[in-house]
A and B are shown apart, each in its own frame.
Chain A
Amino acid sequence: MSEALLDVKDLRIDIVAGGTSHNAVENVSFAIGRGETFGLVGESGCGKSITALAMIGLLKPPLITSGGSIRFKGQNLLELSAREMRKLRGNRIAMIFQEPMTALNPLSPVGRQIAEMFVLHQGATWHEAEKKAVEALASVQVPAPDQRVKNYPHQMSGGMRQRVMIAIALACNPDLLIADEPTTALDVTVQAEILKLMQELCDARGTAVLMISHDLGVIAKMCRRVGIMYAGHMAEERPVSDVFRTPAHPYTKGLLSSLPRLGSRGSHGRKRLQEIEGVVPSIADFPAGCRFEPRCDRASAICVKQKPVEVDLGNDGFVRCFHHE
């Protein structure tokens, strides 16, 4: 991976309010190559969504990016003006959300909402754009697209709406698609269809995907590489197969062993599902050393005092732990 499409280095996001400052995301680094699908995993509040928002320059106070760099095609996004950033959004970097129910304007036909992207970013006339919208809707496998463009969002099911969202996001053939829990709100069968569709479309167009999820199953299916975030730190970043086979960080290990597996039984019949003891620390009192230390069964004196640094694991991966496996 010599020339990455997106190269995030030491990203730091702070919450600054009323003179006090708390750190929300620190030392987050990862890179996504062209056409590659990268997964970002972590539990709620670990900073994955604000990392994504930082990438499209939509962090709002009190959240600010206070360090590091986000290089997209060699250009540092943190140095772009609001105007330059807006030209990239929706055009070169697009995003889809968890809630297809609320992400579409209820008073506008879906075809018009797709067409707006061509008008906005490609200077198309409304007439051309409406035609392209039918093609875009066809490409996300919506049946009878020439009829469906006239539908309003409330006339469509959740799965259909998420297809429309994908059509809008991919309308301008972006280089990078950020998918923030794209299937969480959908039921399992629809989820599988949507994921398959996303994968096919992005493969065909060479679109790289940043897949944000708390569902390891989704990540395993979609991604080549994965970053595991915990409390605003990147705990581990490695190829997916390595992570599943030999989780290096104790948090990753805990996460994997807390997954329910079909047919998994202990010697005495049913086995209790493993959980990670404790809760995620509040952002106001993150531990000074390793942020996972209070919940970690391998913690020692050094973990309390010092922040762990990235340890190279070879095969293009690293872990941030003193006692990694």
Chain B
Amino acid sequence: MGLRLNLVIGGVLCVLIIAAAVLAPWLAHYNPIMDADLMNAELPPDGQFWFGTDSQGRDVFSRILYGAQVSLTVGIGSQLINTIIGLIFGISAGYFGGWWDDLVSGLTNLMLSIPSLIFALAIMAVLGPGLPSLLIALGLTNWSWTCRIARSSTLSLKSQGYVQAAKTLGYGDARIMATQILPNMIGPVLVIATLGMGDAILSEAALSYLGLGIRPPQPSWGNMLTDARELIVIAPWAAIFPGVAIFLTVLGLNLFGDGLRDWLDPHMRTRRA
């Protein structure tokens, strides 16, 4: 196995995307919203406009950099909400069992049986477009896997000696869950969270493409695709570059998540050694 290729490639891609988002104000040559100039509309990529311009003459490169901010905010923010919800439900269900476990497991299965994008679509329709509603819609619809992993990890962890010992030392239930159980399942939960970020970015693009995500003229990779749809024949660069950005980000996050899982799995580690 040697070098962990997926972790390295994924990590590099993620770092590049994060750098692009953070450094957007300095890297972008143009303002992504204000610098519209119909005289420059639909220009192919050249030395001045690296990724060409869109139908309103805005620089696609600059808009992609600012779009990365939206994608990462949505990816990280919604996954944070998902992970917290999943952990609270999953750990408490596994720890207490009984009717609470039945209820949570039922709810998890229900969530898994509804396509999460359709669910998010319904929430967006109620809340209206915008970043906060995106975070809520995507943050409430994708916690089932985290919840399942947290529940099953808790079931095995609670029979561990140190959890039993903590009980005899007078630890309360909340303290046991926070100090003995949670830290010992952080590996798999982290992997799920990373993989989920890629899903959230795709969902954001899909929702923005449908006009329910980020409201134009603020750029997001999804609504850039919507704008470019009509130009796909005369100005394909306006669609290709946001598409490539989405592809590379999701690829990077998935490779990183996979690499993390391999790296955290002790069996894989022994195989390497």
Interface residues of A (CB under 8 A from B): 56, 58, 86-91, 94-95, 97, 99, 101-108, 116-117, 120-121, 165, 168-169
Contact = CB atoms under 8 A, between A and B. Distances in A.
Nearest to A83: B172
B162 A168 contact: no
A89 B168 contact: yes
9 contacts: A94-B168, A99-B161, A103-B165, A105-B179, A105-B180, A107-B184, A108-B179, A108-B183, A120-B170
B187 to A, nearest CB: 10
Given A106-B184, A108-B183, A120-B175, A90 B170 contact: yes
Contacts, number: 59
B108 to A, nearest CB: 26
Contact of B183 (A95, A102, A107, A165): A107
B71 to A, nearest CB: 33
B2 to A, nearest CB: 26
Given A91-B170, A106-B184, A97 B165 contact: yes
Contacts of A101: 161
A86 B166 CA distance: 11
A95 B166 CA distance: 10
A169 B168 CA distance: 9
A58 B167 CA distance: 8
B171 interface: yes
B201 to A, nearest CB: 31
B114 interface: no
Interface in B92-113: none
Most buried by A among B160, B161, B169: B169
B96 to A, nearest CB: 13
B169 A168 contact: yes
A168 B48 CA distance: 68
Nearest to B168: A95
A103 B162 contact: yes
Interface of B: 160-162, 164-172, 175, 179-180, 183-184
A58 B166 CA distance: 11
Given A97-B165, A105-B166, 17 more contacts: A56-B168, A86-B172, A88-B170, A90-B168, A90-B169, A90-B171, A94-B168, A95-B169, A97-B161, A102-B161, A103-B161, A105-B162, A106-B184, A108-B179, A120-B171, A121-B170, A168-B169
A97 B167 CA distance: 12
A205 to B, nearest CB: 17
B185 to A, nearest CB: 10
A154 to B, nearest CB: 12
Contacts of A107: 183-184
B162 to A, nearest CB: 5
Most buried by B among A86, A94, A168, A169: A86
A169 B169 contact: yes
A116 B179 contact: yes
Contacts of B164: 97, 103
A117 B170 CA distance: 9
B162 A106 contact: yes
A87 B171 CA distance: 9
Nearest to A89: B170
A41 to B, nearest CB: 21
A88 B161 CA distance: 20
B7 to A, nearest CB: 22
Contacts of B175: 120
A265 to B, nearest CB: 42
In order of increasing CB-CB distance, the 9 nearest A-B pairs are A102-B161, A90-B170, A90-B169, A89-B170, A95-B168, A103-B165, A103-B161, A107-B183, A105-B162
Contacts of A120: 169-171, 175
A89 B176 CA distance: 14
Nearest to B183: A107
Contacts of B162: 102-106
Nearest to A86: B170
A87 B172 CA distance: 9
Contacts of B179: 105, 108, 116
A242 B168 CA distance: 33
Contacts of A108: 179, 183
Contacts of A105: 162, 166, 179-180, 183-184
B9 to A, nearest CB: 29
A108 B176 CA distance: 13
Contacts of B168: 56, 58, 89-90, 94-95, 97
A89 B169 contact: yes
Contacts of B169: 89-90, 94-95, 117, 120, 168-169
A101 B172 CA distance: 23
B14 to A, nearest CB: 25
A56 B161 CA distance: 16
A102 B171 contact: no
